Amino acid sequence: MRIRNAFYAQSGGVTAVINASACGVIETARANKDKIGKVYAGRNGIVGALAEDLIDTGKDTAKSIASLRYAPSGAFGSCRFKLKGLEENRLQYERLVEVFKAHNIGYFFYNGGGDSADTCLKISQLANKMGYPVQAIHIPKTVDNDLPVTDCCPGFGSVAKYVAVSVREASFDVASMAQTSTRVFVMEVMGRHAGWIAAAGGLASDKNCELPIVILFPEIPFSKEKFLAKVDAMVQQYGYCSVVVSEGVRGEDGKFLSDQGLRDAFGHTQLGGVAPVIANMIKDALGYKFHWAVADYLQRAARHIASRTDVEQAYALGKAAVQLALKGENAVMPAIVRLADKPYQWSIEVAPLQKVANVEKTMPRNFITKDGFGISEKCRGYMLPLIMGEDYPPYKDGLPQYVRLKNVAVPKKLADFEI
Amino acid sequence: MRIRNAFYAQSGGVTAVINASACGVIETARANKDKIGKVYAGRNGIVGALAEDLIDTGKDTAKSIASLRYAPSGAFGSCRFKLKGLEENRLQYERLVEVFKAHNIGYFFYNGGGDSADTCLKISQLANKMGYPVQAIHIPKTVDNDLPVTDCCPGFGSVAKYVAVSVREASFDVASMAQTSTRVFVMEVMGRHAGWIAAAGGLASDKNCELPIVILFPEIPFSKEKFLAKVDAMVQQYGYCSVVVSEGVRGEDGKFLSDQGLRDAFGHTQLGGVAPVIANMIKDALGYKFHWAVADYLQRAARHIASRTDVEQAYALGKAAVQLALKGENAVMPAIVRLADKPYQWSIEVAPLQKVANVEKTMPRNFITKDGFGISEKCRGYMLPLIMGEDYPPYKDGLPQYVRLKNVAVPKKLADFEI
């Protein structure tokens, strides 16, 4: 087997554990130096490959690479850059293959969501056609947990843990204040199309720690009347309640609830979140004092409260990707298979990219309670294993120590390319 | 020494560690059963005392009480209820003394901020005048860190740690995304009048991990022009930047920046945060894509990332309060004294309540950099010890286990009282 180099890139929104996958890729490649030469990373994702801006991960020590396991964000930079269709922009795909050829890259590891699975598949196909075969392996990553085939996506377990922990903590807080002050706490979470992250808020309440939580899923059209009745019932029963709202909630008219045409005093449009909309709606209709939070990046970057299960799966999938490549696989993705809920057991299977690319997995209706405002026991059984275990990063002077790699550039060999 | 009962109440916004103070009070009282009988807690703070709604903490086991050390929020309920001036509403004060008398309460421990220090002082004075002397001891608590005399306030160290960790994590995130997407991340934090919490965002960047952070303090009148120039300079230099904005930032006209007269499509006033205002301002003027977060309750409830120093001080001050009472002190507050910055050393001194009540400590100007957008080395030296150490709560099934006490009511002895 001829030694060829590998290329690894991070794509789309980053997570608390995408670097754990990078760690799995690089450590496994380093353990197979007889087959894989260098591991190059794309600076700022696939854009780095197009620009021939490659990072030589070999310049970083084993210790630094091992520390990737604990660092949130994308260590090599990520990008929001969707390659156009093959027919539309064949030049970009050809450029990628040229760059791979120039740097003796025979393995392409792409760490991202549904879009990047599609890109990965196209690159595999085109490279083949162009007579420079590249084994393209996709490594799943997305906080949204919306990829098909795989039982869950690395990144999701940690954001779910963050949301469950935060909703529990904030619910304790509002419970303390409710008699004379705040009655309702509203927390906005990510999930434009799928309610997996919002659902995690439901885990905050369990039989040992019952809490009144109302969830707004993007899968359920928002009914103001039913929602207000639910909140009011909760406050009447418990004295307070917490609302977890997905950023992607839409009204019965199909419009995002966050899109309220907010204007400032000068008539300028303001981009606000959905949490203040919901909070103000409750105040106006029910008169309850509220507090609201928008977690935004905090939720997906919260490596300090990452799920150990998630970290382990992220690493294992990175490792598996390299092992699959070494076995000669192409246009595939290692995926998590659930063997048992309790105790949780999982393994890794191989999924063809055709089944993954551009398919979005939303919450099954039976994961949501009949009234549309909570999670079912089925959902809890699915989700609980994913937030299991803590995996604290090292601290110094009170702060988590997140590695920054050297990110040394590989000398360019090709002419510039306009992206 | 005759055995008398103690009364303990939590006041105002709760924190991640106020229950650690409660733990210190109750455990120390239990260790002195020859002097202190029962420890009663006010259900929902001082309102519980007015209503004679007392909780018998003796009904909870030593294990439950010990677990208070790890539970955020107010275990007995808190309240936002400021007793009026003595002359205005003498009846309320008299009622308190009556309740204390009816339940043989000789020790009053009040765990709160500046307002409650004032209440504590008044109760001590009035009880004396009414011929039923009560030793009133105030235990400092406030995330805002704005109490005088004490070097810092329990609750602050943990919120500071949460903010520093979160800003570091989110800054790593935006750095990953900056080339093709988000350039600026804006995080809104608490602190209506004092910028201590916002300042903690500055700790996210240090000499081992430099990050571009711009802080907006309530102590510095907001200049749009200077702020935009600063953000632009940061983005030009680093490619991205994080902005930490205190909810209490005001323009040069003295108005809260968050008060933008936001209206929805129907003309209804919307209560929004200051983070979206800042984010939209940056987008409009500089064109940078942004993300924004509002931490709200999450920051003060985040027991999962509490500072060990903070937890230890909260417990120690609760313990000291009881010890002071046993020494015969009255109308005082145990306060933290800093003996050394590095290595950090502290002890507890006694402060008369006259010096504490109704005084607000804002950030000294020399804690803020000359340009008004960062923290000075002096501030860092002050603040760093306060976020030192982790003190993780116990977890089960992936979630922190926060104790809930039985909160058994003490039988009433008096007629009802209208609050």
DSSP B245: E
Assign residue A251 the CATH number of its domain: 3.40.50.460
Mean pLDDT of A176-180: 94
Same domain flag for B355 and B284? no
Banded model confidence at residue B419, pLDDT cuts 50, 70, 90 = confident
Q: Check whether residue A206 and residue A163 sit in a common domain.
A: yes
Annotated binding residues of B for substrate: 142-144, 190-192, 247, 297-300
- Within-domain flag for A315: yes
Residues B98 and B205 occupy one common structural domain: no
Pick from B301, B323, B343: which residue ends a domain?
A: B301
**For residue B368, is it within any domain?**
no
A143 assigned to a ligand binding site: yes
CA gap B279, B273 in Å, rounded: 11
Does A296 share its domain with A310?
no
Q: What pLDDT is attached to residue B359?
A: 84
Chains A and B: how many Cβ contacts under 8 Å?
263
Residue B375 CA to residue A187 CA, distance in Å, equals 30
- Show the domain range for A77: 4-142+305-358+391-400
Examine residue B271 and state whether it is found in any structural domain, yes or no.
yes
Same domain, A59 and A170: no
Within this chain, do residues A258 and A283 fall inside the same structural domain, yes or no? yes
Place of tokens 């430099």: B210
Partner-chain residue, chosen from B71, B165, B280, that has the shortest CB–CB distance to A270: B280
End-to-end CA distance of chain A: 34
User: Which pLDDT does position A235 carry in this prediction?
Assistant: 98
β-strands B54-56, B36-42 pairing: antiparallel
User: Chain A 189-208, CB below 8 Å of chain B: which residues?
Assistant: 203-204, 206, 208
As a whole number of angstroms, the distance between CA B122 and CA B322 comes to: 19
The whole-angstrom separation of Cα A211 and Cα A173 is 12
Encode pLDDT of B360-402 as tens digits: 899 999 999 999 999 999 999 999 999 999 999 999 999 999 9
B213 and B296, same domain (yes or no): yes
Tell me: pLDDT of B14 over 80.
Answer: yes
In CATH, what number is assigned to the domain containing residue A22?
3.40.50.450
Confidence of residue B191 (pLDDT cuts 50, 70, 90): very high
Phi and psi at A378, nearest 5°, equal -60, -45
Do residues A311 and A273 share a domain? Answer: no
**A89 and A205, same domain (yes or no):** no
* Among A60, A118, A144, A146, the one annotated catalytic: A144
A181/A272 same-domain check: yes
The binding site of B comprises 13, 142-144, 190-192, 247, 297-300
Using one digit for the tens of pLDDT, what is the confidence trace for A277-308? 999 999 999 999 999 999 999 999 999 999 99
Asked which of A254, A275, A301 is the last residue of a domain, the reply is: A301
Which helix or strand (DSSP H or E) is residue A138 part of?
Answer: strand A135-140
- Residue B369 falls within a domain, yes or no? no
Largest CA-CA distance found in chain B, in angstroms, rounded: 73
How many domains does chain B contain in total?
Answer: 2
Report yes or no on B26 lying in a domain. yes
Count helices and strands in chain A by DSSP H and E runs: 12, 13
- Residues on chain A touching B49 (C-beta within 8 angstroms): none
Residue B210 is predicted with a pLDDT of: 98
- Same domain membership, residue A174 and residue A84: no
Query: DSSP letters along A375-404, please?
Result: B-HHHHHHHGGGG-SB-PPPEETTEE----
The verdict on B194 and B83 lying in the same domain is no
What is the pLDDT at residue B258? 84
Distance of residue A401 Cα from the nearest chain B Cα, in angstroms: 9
Whether B9 shows a pLDDT value over 70: the answer reads yes
In a domain, A367, yes or no: no
When pLDDT is cut at 50, 70 and 90, the band that residue A258 belongs to is confident
Q: Is residue A271 part of a domain?
A: yes
pLDDT in tens, A318-372: 999 999 999 999 999 999 999 999 899 999 999 999 999 878 899 999 999 999 9
Residue A58 inside a domain? The answer is yes
Among A278, A301, A324, give the residue marking a domain's end.
A301
